[in-house]
Structure 1
Amino acid sequence: MLFESDPNKIIRPVDLKTYTNKLNWEKKLIKSASLPTNTDFALVNGGRSKKESEFTYCIYYDNQTGTKRHHSHTFRNVKELENAGIRLKASETSCLTDISFNSIFFVGTLWLPPVIVDDSTGPKFMNLIAYEMCPDFDNDFTVTSYMCFLDSLIDEAEDVKALRRAGILYNGLGSDEEVAKLFNKMNTDLVPSPMIYSYVEQQIDNHCKNMWINYAAKAYHTLFRSPWTCLAFVAAIAALYLSALHTYYTIHQPK
């Protein structure tokens, strides 16, 4: 079911008589749930090839298959990703599919679209998810998949805190614990499409499963987690160098 500008006012999908009306409603709902972004971009599919004169958004519909999709990944939360050397950064747009990952040596970067979380977030996204479930609405479950992806990253308040620090999540609810509970509750029993974020998920899995990357990332986080540990590491290297230098000159000093 969908709501009007007042998130507490619920209307039935049958009240939207035409396909155009349904699409316009969805555009308004998604727009109100997102951060302002460049008008060259759409919220859900990016829309990079179509410049829109107004602040509107569009949905990408997958008409190639009507089969039910199943989730294929058991994903890691933010804390585990950080331990594997993965940093979080905000994407340039608030398009829900603007999620990407790249890896250089042992450091990976996960880009996520920024999102505002407040009292209206729960009703808005749940209504959008319900709309995607309508049998006469052919789509690729973009909103459902995005919510499942975000939920997989959030297990506890510390994960929310990390997303806030990265500028990805703006907390208008109050405590980080409330936000974590909201996402965990909303995503109960949801089935995302395995097609939308499968490439990103596979890249992250490959990064996390690489033994040498894990060792390097753990060493990096251990040695450089604070200025004091960094100074201690530099001091230890300097001490080893001086010790080796002293040993060398002791052995090779002229008789």
Structure 2
Amino acid sequence: MSYNKIPSAAELSRAGVRFKKGSDNERFISFRDIKFSRDGIFEIPPTYIYCGTDTIVRNLIACEQLYSKRYKMTSYAVLMDSLINSAEDVAFLRKAGIFKSFLGCDEDVFNVFNKLGSEIILKENSYCNLEYNVHEYYKKRRHLWKATLKREYFNNPWAVIPVVAAVLIILLTIISTVFGILQVVLLK
């Protein structure tokens, strides 16, 4: 499969994808633990961002590019570059518990990942199947409609009451019409 950039975190969220913080084992966090389920749950282990993150990750990518046949860190950097297109995406992922930043603001974290994704040659994408599954979920319109319905019309519990009342009124109107027709037919 060829590399296909996935939509940003905000776009995926608008399409019904829910982001969840993955395992937070303080001794060892593996980038292989990134998962996407058929239910639309994108599970990513927490990443700690501080002033040296850019340098460390760039050096790991350079080592992979030169000496390794596996491109785990490179694939991770490209995946995060796809997910993060603005400070809004960073804020969304931070609120989900995926990013723990020790930098000044979300814009600084965006700049770190924006720089990481530039000038990278990805020969083998470790997240090829994951990205394919994300695209399959994202392009189904029913997920977008369901997410829009929840976000726009059912964003609080009080919004459900008018919908239930409207459905009940329609049902009662139909029942009343049926009984009215039956009464006319039976009286003849």
TM-score range normalised by the length of the shorter chain: 0.7 to 0.9
Distance in 2 (alpha carbons) for counterparts of 1:84 and 1:96:
24
Deviations 1:138-180 (A, max 9, x none): 2312111101101100111221122112211112213212211
Question: In the TM superposition, what is the alpha-carbon distance from 1:193 to its structure 2 partner?
Answer: 4.3
Separation in 2, partners of 1:236, 1:183:
48
Question: Aligned match of 1:98 in 9, 14, 33?
Answer: 33
RMSD: 2.5
**Cα 1:187–1:246, aligned 2, differ >3 Å: closer, same or farther?**
same
Give yes or no for the alignment of 1:188 onto 2:123: no
For the pair 1:169 / 2:112, whether they are aligned, the reply is no
Matched, 1:120 2:52: yes
| 1:133 alignment partner AA | Q
Aligned-partner residue type, residue 122 of structure 1? D
TM-score normalized by the length of structure 1:
0.62
Does residue 1:225 correspond to 2:160, yes or no?
no
Query: How many angstroms does 1:229 deviate by?
Result: 3.7
Scaled by the length of structure 2, what TM-score is found? 0.82
The amino acid across from 1:97 in the alignment is: R
SS in 2 for 1:127: helix
Structure 2 regions of 5+ residues with no counterpart?
none
In structure 1, list runs of 5 or more residues that go unmatched: 1-69
| Alpha carbons 1:100, 1:200 under 8 Å: kept | yes
Equivalent residue of 1:103, what SS? coil
Select 2:63's aligned residue among 131, 152, 160.
131
CA separation of 1:239/1:191 partners in 2, compared to 1, >3 Å: closer, same or farther? Answer: farther
Task: Report the identity percentage.
Answer: 31
Change (3 A) 1:216 1:117: same
1:89 matched to 2:36? The reply is no
Name the one with the larger helix percent. Answer: 2
Structure number with the bigger relative contact order (C-alpha 8 A, sep ≥ 6) is 2
**Secondary structure, in 3 states, of the residue corresponding to 1:170?**
strand
Q: Match of 1:214? A: 144
Q: What is the total number of aligned residue pairs between the two structures?
A: 181
The one-letter amino acid of 1:83's match is R
